[in-house]
Amino acid sequence: MENSTGKHHSLERFRAIVAWQNRILALFGCYVYVREHRVTSRIAVICFIATSFIVLSVYSAALSWGDMGLVVLNIVAVFYAIVGVARLSVAISDPAGCYRSIRLAEEMYQHADGSHPAECSVLARYTDLFGRSVQLYTFCFMASVVLVSLMPFGFYLFRGERFLPIAIVFPFTDGENAIGFWCTLAVQLFYIYCGPLALVPSQNIYFAFIFNICLQYELLIERLKQLDETIRKTGGSQSSTVRDQLVKIIQFQQRSTEYITHIEHFYQMQSFVEFLCNSLQVALTLNELHRSFWLPGFFVLLMAVVQMLVLCCLGTLIELKSDQFTNQLYDIAWAEMELPQQAMFKYVLKSAQQPTRLTCGRFAVINMNLFLTIHKKIYSFFMMLQNM
């Protein structure tokens, strides 16, 4: 009873964290991770913010042509907006699919054995990891936003200089006079706060999906340990018990494969857009930093590299759990099973040897190898820019 309560507590905490993120998205008209799974007319506001930000960034880049620092800063800003549009398009195009992703994740909690302490411990550990990741990512991202937004006021108060955090300008506005400066700053701060508020929850929900995949592998490993214990205790004599455990493992494995396939189908193009935009941001920023000391470039470089690193680390974590599951299969005392059970075990092993991976637009598997490959390509692109 106590363990069942622990399982229920983990599920309720998971739902609470998701609901917290969904409340933020609901401000912009997205009800995609709740039963309603719909969008409202308020979605037009965030669509306008993203579109107008791209238009103003391109306009500002053309206006500042000749000052490469400002041009690159505007182009980099466009890439941030493109990432936002990519995430937004996922919610708008298929809100039911977003809700189904969460529903499948919740089902994995429900399929866990609440009477088994090890499985309840797995649920609690990954739910806690999800919660801490959401808190850390939200704090770091929003702290960066607050820091950037406070810089203009700090420059003005302590040095008497007018400093704009981003390079976009408003048409027919003279940034040289006080009124034009403060009006432009107000518009920039509006974009600086609205954009991250919409982007952070989508990233946090992605954490939920990734950690849920790892949770599924951990639960499968626990099921294999229980199976191995049964085989070694009975010497394979209780074939019905072994068969029942194998059936449950196969069913859980099939549900896990279905879930990973759904997440892969749902996020592959978004992942491709994010990696492409972050890669171009790093290459352009390095090129400008090579030309001159450009303070905003260090912030842009850090953000782009960290974002790619986080995604690749999550992909590598899934691979490690998949390998642990396969290794656990090899440790099973399969030779003591009867022939029908060995055939079932062979099916599980064959499926484990061909795991479903998360990819970057189906071009490459998301892992640390992709991170290294991308940075080799960035270096090649950077050298090409230097030779132009």
pLDDT for position 345: 85
The vertex-58 CA angle with 54 and 60, nearest 5°, equals: 115
In this predicted structure, the answer to whether residue 175 has a pLDDT above a threshold of 70 is no
CA–CA separation, 85 and 74 (whole Å)? 17
Question: Average pLDDT of 285-307?
Answer: 78
pLDDT 10s digits, 25-58: 777 767 677 776 666 777 777 778 888 888 888 8
pLDDT for position 78: 85
Exposed, middle or buried: residue 153 (CB in 10 Å: 0-12, 13-18, 19+)?
Answer: exposed
3 state SS of 353 = coil
Confidence band for 1, pLDDT divided at 50, 70 and 90:
very low
Confidence band for 243, pLDDT divided at 50, 70 and 90:
confident
Percent of the chain with pLDDT over 70: 92
Question: Average pLDDT of 352-375?
Answer: 88
Provide the greatest CA pair distance for the chain.
88
In this predicted structure, the answer to whether residue 217 has a pLDDT above a threshold of 90 is yes
CA–CA separation, 171 and 183 (whole Å)? 12
**Which single residue is written with the structure tokens 């493109």?**
82
The total number of structural domains that make up the chain: 1
More confident residue, 188 or 318: 318
Q: What is the mean pLDDT of the chain?
A: 82
pLDDT for position 388: 63
pLDDT 10s digits, 317-340: 999 999 999 999 888 888 888 888
Range of the domain at 48: 1-387
In this predicted structure, the answer to whether residue 2 has a pLDDT above a threshold of 60 is no
pLDDT 10s digits, 5-29: 778 888 888 888 888 888 777 777 6
pLDDT for position 385: 66
Strands 38-39 and 30-31: antiparallel
Instruction: Tell me which range, 276-285, 297-306, 312-321, 370-379, is most confidently predicted by mean pLDDT.
Output: 312-321
Least confident of 164-178, 234-248, 298-312, 322-336: 164-178
pLDDT for position 4: 61
pLDDT for position 163: 74
pLDDT for position 319: 92
pLDDT for position 214: 93
Question: Average pLDDT of 268-284?
Answer: 87
Question: Average pLDDT of 197-218?
Answer: 87
Least confident of 143-147, 165-169, 305-309, 371-375: 165-169
User: HSE (CB half, 13 Å, CA atoms) of 303?
Assistant: 22
Residues 249, 337 contacting (CB under 8 angstroms):
no
DSSP annotation string for 262-287: HHHHHHHHHHHHHHHHHHHHHHHHHH
361: left (phi over 0), alpha (psi -120 to 50) or beta: left
Residues 234, 241 contacting (CB under 8 angstroms):
yes
Instruction: Tell me which range, 168-172, 181-185, 220-224, 236-240, is most confidently predicted by mean pLDDT.
Output: 220-224
Confidence band for 238, pLDDT divided at 50, 70 and 90:
low
The pTM score is 0.87
In this predicted structure, the answer to whether residue 174 has a pLDDT above a threshold of 70 is no
